[in-house]
Amino acid sequence: MKIISYNINGIRAALKKGLLEWMEEEAPDVICFQEMKAHLDQIDKSIFEDLGYHIYWFPAEKKGYSGVAILTKVEPTNVVYGMDMEKYDIEGRLLRLDFGDITLINTYMPSGTTGDVRQNFKYEWLDDFFSFIENLKKERHKLIICGDFNICHKEIDIHNPVSNKKSSGFLPEERAWVSKFINSGFVDAFRHFDESPHNYTWWSYRARARKRNLGWRIDYFMVSEPVVTNLKDSKILAEVIHSDHCPLSLEIEF
């Protein structure tokens, strides 16, 4: 099974840049989108259905903002929209699909780059998300969590760790949270296969950052330890351009 995670920064804009044609060529079994910035009635869903996908769409209440979706060729056995916490669910932050004993969670974590109010909201999210996953693990042991975490974990994950040490997304508290999350029983799938530097998933639109590979690795596949033996590969598809992020892939066998 090939799973793709991709912050597309606007589904309608990405479709104009060849997203659908790329999906047809890449042919993932499951694709998890973040930051769709659209309600389902704002696009022609048949274009995805014609590729064989079941569509699960969890937008923000506010149009043109946030939202997550999962398109899957394998029909899930259970679907859960949100965390049952209104302040996050109105922003379309999390979607869960179960496939038998496997649980896939697609999440778009808040950014704190616009100031203290949203940074504090981000810290609240991190605490609540951690508790949410801890509770879920009591029932569901095989977890695959993907999405835009909006945090670089280590210095290797950012092009300039010194100048960015006080930037939201690379703050000590945020990085410590990722360490805590991994230590609670998860594996960073990409780093399981590749420890090399200069592998990023997001680049600013400014200063030709992508062309110069001045990026941040803020998108992840985190898998719970019972799933690790099923992993076959995980890659960052940096050459794919429909967004300021790039997709990442997970190949897994059950």
Q: Which residues are catalytic?
A: 148
Q: Which of 200, 224, 193, 228 is nearest to 214 (CA)?
A: 200
Inter-CA distances, 213 with 17, 159, 182, 247, 248, Å: 21, 8, 27, 15, 16
Question: Are the C-beta atoms of 68 and 33 separated by less than 8 Å?
Answer: yes
DSSP helix/strand/coil, 168: coil
Q: Give the CA-trace dihedral at 172, 180, 238, 34, to 10 degrees.
A: -100
Rounded Cα gap, residues 162 and 150, in angstroms: 18
Rounded Cα gap, residues 18 and 193, in angstroms: 29
Cα 24–188–51 angle (5° rounding)? 15
For the chain, the distance separating the N- and C-terminal CA atoms, rounded to the nearest angstrom, is: 8
